[in-house]
Amino acid sequence: EDEDVALSSLGAMERFTLYRSEHGATLLQSEVLQVLHRIIGHNRAPELVTETFTLLFRLCDVPGSTVVPLIAKESGLVRTVVESMSQAPLNMRLQLSGLRLL
């Protein structure tokens, strides 16, 4: 049930981000990285992790000067991404989305 809510929320955030790039910037300023970090950290379902990686990629695909300070602030995010990838070594979709994100 929690996984379904998280997937629905991720879908809504992704649509919001794809609609206009300014919406992605608004989400980043609203500390969405912390929320996405928690989703990855607490839920290890491959589909949920893959969707989160995809959204993170879309949000972070902006000039480095904008997003680097925010990623540095959410210090454990990169480590959590790598840990999630190591827990599903045979899931190629998850691995490719994780590599693209990194």
- Residue entry with tokens 């996984």: 3
Burial pattern 8-28, b for ≥16 Cβ within 10 A else e, equals eebeebbeebeeeeeebeebb
pLDDT band, residue 56 (cuts 50/70/90)? very high
pLDDT band, residue 102 (cuts 50/70/90)? confident
Residue 98 and residue 81 in contact, taking contact as beta carbons nearer than 8 Å: yes
pLDDT given at position 1: 67
The span from the CA of 70 to the CA of 68, in Å, is 5
Residue 52 and residue 42 in contact, taking contact as beta carbons nearer than 8 Å: no
pLDDT band, residue 51 (cuts 50/70/90)? very high
The span from the CA of 38 to the CA of 100, in Å, is 20
